[in-house]
Chains A and B, each alone.
Chain A
Amino acid sequence: MQNKKYPRRQPRENYFTEEEEIAEINRIIKNMRGMMIALS
């Protein structure tokens, strides 16, 4: 049921390296500045 509403794409095969992981975390946090401020 949930897959119909929220289609799942093929996830990446490998885990992030630590550098890739930090880059992705930075991207998410930068794009959620509103939430970062609201919940401060």
Chain B
Amino acid sequence: MAMPTHFLIERTIININKTIEESARKDTKIIYINRKVPPESVKILGHIESCAEEYYKKTKDIFLTATYYLKNIIVLQALEDANHRTGIVAAKLFLGLNGYKTKEFSPFTRPKNLTQNDVIESECFIHFKTRLYSYREREYHFTDSIINDYVLRFENTEENTSENIVFDYCYKFIINKLLDPT
């Protein structure tokens, strides 16, 4: 029996970001700073819903599609803050909705007694963000001119196999850090 595929809609991405913002109001260790975002980025984020579905039709690959959400949410920077965190939660939600088990992470409920795993895990996320920052600079040069539909172009399809270092790094992060093979 063919398995149904569930996609994320724009509202879901906004809800993830709002929930992170609300968490920051209740938890002083979580920071969320409201910043101005380019209107063009917000507009393009609205296309992610239909583009991701079309991308899946071309690739038939849930992991690539999860990468599509993660990479584009981060590159567009259409949310006032927490774009990386929103992208990671979105990818995790998308994988879970489509039947894939993802790793459980630390809730940090006992910050005074952090385990070595807690520290390694935090470093892994910080490393991801730092590394990705330099890759984004290399691939997109951080100019406003890149904030156009080009960002949402399809990578790793039959028509386009050109390498995008940001996309590739996000894909490896999903495979190695988010998915749970057990």
Contact = CB atoms under 8 A, between A and B. Distances in A.
A26 B12 CA distance: 12
Interface residues of B, number: 48
B107 A32 contact: yes
Interface in B81-102: 82, 84-85, 88-89, 92-93, 96-101
Interface of B: 3-6, 11-12, 15-16, 19-20, 23-24, 27, 29-32, 62-63, 82, 84-85, 88-89, 92-93, 96-101, 104-109, 118, 121-123, 125-126, 129, 179-181
Given A28-B92, A39-B125, 13 more contacts: A6-B179, A9-B99, A9-B100, A11-B98, A11-B99, A28-B89, A32-B89, A34-B106, A34-B125, A35-B88, A35-B125, A38-B125, A39-B126
